[in-house]
A = this chain, B = another copy of it.
Amino acid sequence: MRSAADAAEPAPPVRSRPGGRTARIRTQVLDAVTAELAEHGYDGLSMDAVAARAGVHRATVYRRWQEVGGLLADLFDAAGNQRWDPRDTGSLHGDLAALNHEIQDSFTEQPSLAMALIAASFRSEEAARALRRLWDERYTQSEIIVERAIQRGELPSDVDARALLIAATAPLYHHLVLLRTPPDPHLPELAATTATLAAGAGAFTR
C-alpha cells in the first residue's frame, strides 16, 4: 500500500544516498520515470523520453535498465526501500483510518502515480513482480499498527496481522482501483471501523 504515494515523492532516501555518479544517475532517471509515468501513463513511457528528461545519455539508460519494465521495477524497488512509518494515533481504529486516508489520497491526487503503477503492472511482468515485492514490504511495515494494538491490550496476541490489515484496506483499493467509484470521504473511517469490529469479534484470531 502507498506504493504510489511514496514513489510519487521525489524521494529523499534515493536522492540523499551516498555515492557518486552512479547513484546520482539513478536518482535522475527514476525521478524522470516518475514524472513521465504520472503525466503520460504507461503508454507514454519510453526509454528515450526518460533519458531526455533525466539529462542522461540514452546508452547509459539502455545499458543499466534495458527496457521500460526494468525502469519500473527499479522505481518500485526504490519506493520499497524508502523509510515509511504508519502514523501512531493512539488507537487501532485511528491508525487504520490514518492508513486508509493515505491510501485514498494517493489515488485521488492528480495525476496519481499509484494508479499509473498498478496499470503498469498489468502490462509488464517485471513491473508486476516488483509491485508484489512493494506491497509485501508495505504490509510488513504496517504490522507495527497491529503490534501497538496488542501492546495496548486492544487485540489478542495471536491475531493475524496481515489478514487484519488487508481487511481494513481492501475496500479502499476495491473502490478506487477496481470499481472506480468517486472517492467517498467516509470510506477510510468506515473500513477502519469494520476491521476493528471484526477484530474485536475474533475474526483474525489464528
A residues at B contact (CB < 8 Å):
118-119, 122, 128, 132, 135, 163, 166-167, 169-171, 173-175, 177-181, 190-191, 193-195, 197-198, 200-204
Contact = CB atoms under 8 A, between A and B. Distances in A.
A143 to B, nearest CB: 15
A197 B190 contact: no
Contacts of A170: 170-171, 173-174
Contact of A198 (B175, B179, B181, B198): B198
Given A194-B203, A194-B204, A166 B177 contact: no
A118 B180 CA distance: 12
Contacts of A194: 163, 167, 195, 198, 203-204
A135 B167 contact: no
Q: How many subunits of this chain does the assembly comprise?
A: 2
Contacts of A169: 174
Contact of A122 (B122, B190, B203): B122
Given A194-B198, A194-B203, A200-B201, A178 B118 contact: yes
A181 B163 CA distance: 13
6 contacts: A118-B122, A132-B179, A167-B191, A170-B171, A170-B173, A198-B201
A169 B178 CA distance: 12
A144 to B, nearest CB: 19
A90 B54 CA distance: 61
B163 A174 contact: no
A73 B201 CA distance: 42
Nearest to A178: B173
Given A173-B173, A174-B174, 12 more contacts: A118-B122, A132-B181, A163-B194, A166-B179, A167-B191, A170-B171, A170-B173, A173-B178, A193-B203, A197-B198, A197-B203, A201-B201
